[in-house]
Amino acid sequence: MTVEAGKYIDVKGVKTHYHEDGQGEVILLIHGSGPGVSAWANWRLVFPILSENFHLYAPDVVGFGYTDRPEGINYSIDVWADHMIDFVETLGETKISIIGNSFGGAIALHIAKKRPDLIKQLILMGSMGIDHHISDGLDRVWGYTPTFENMKDLIKLFAFDQSMAENDDLVEMRFKSSMQEGFQESFSSMFPEPRQQHVSDMALSIDQLRKINFPVLLIHGRDDRVIPLQDTSYKLALALPNAQLHVFPECGHWVQIEKTKEFAGQVIEFLKKEEMVFY
């Protein structure tokens, strides 16, 4: 399955690109905000594993990947969350679980706040969504300018296994993706300086988090230098009333890539268990 094998659907006038596979309980997978990111770049390794157990939808959020970049749009967490809500409703789904990666985790939390009626469970991986001081790593990610060397440096930042940055095919794939028409233009408009403001804008208050009562699985790489564990998932685990936290050692921000089988196993166990206990 490749990027070109994705589908398109009109979501309130936004031509939205997405991937779909599997049967059963519905999971919406929301990608992160790295340069050149798309749903497929984020989820391609776990898609064939999870699709054996669930009905998966992995869209490119408005402004990212192969989804439209509407002229004059002012990107914000509300715009992104509303786009995902509208995507789910356009598909005709009424109850879903969400896996959100980093920025996608913040979107998932905002969906839960706005439309709790849509949600069964949440899985938040290396998630934003609680206020914290922006890391140097995230500042570098959002401040990316497209060169091969800059992309190589970001892969070193994302991964615990530094040898991944020596894979020129991987670096070239991500670099070329960031250079596709429209990608960098929209990306650079989303997170201008001062970037701390964007972290705060994506955050829910502690009181808001305490009202999210769904079962939540938090997954984080212990060695994440982009979204540090202690500043985010640890605090989310204390604030969310029905949350559990799993930490992977020797793992950076790319849990689904560096720990693919283990990550998928955690997701399957959590969702199947919660399905039996609560539904």
Q: Which two tokens stand for residue 83?
A: 């786009």
Q: Which of 19, 110, 198, 253 is catalytic?
A: 253
Separation of alpha carbons 189 and 196, rounded Å? 15
Paired residues of 217 in beta bridges: 123, 244
Q: Which of 102, 135, 177, 178 is catalytic?
A: 102
Is 253 marked active-site?
Answer: yes
User: Within its chain, how far is the Cα of 68 from the centroid?
Assistant: 18
Residues 6+ apart with CB under 8 A from 129: 105, 106, 108, 109, 110, 202, 203, 204, 209, 232, 236
Distances (CA, A) of 234 to 10, 191, 213, 221, 237: 38, 25, 17, 11, 5
Separation of alpha carbons 17 and 225, rounded Å? 30
Separation of alpha carbons 28 and 51, rounded Å? 12
Is 224 marked active-site?
Answer: yes
Q: What angle do CA 227, 80, 8 make, to 5 degrees?
A: 115
Distances (CA, A) of 269 to 53, 114, 217, 262, 274: 11, 27, 11, 11, 8
Nearest one of 194, 227, 231 to 105, comparing CA atoms: 227
Q: Which of 60, 68, 82, 224 is catalytic?
A: 224
Separation of alpha carbons 221 and 253, rounded Å? 6
Residues 6+ apart with CB under 8 A from 8: 15, 16, 17, 18
Catalytic residues, which ones? 102, 224, 253
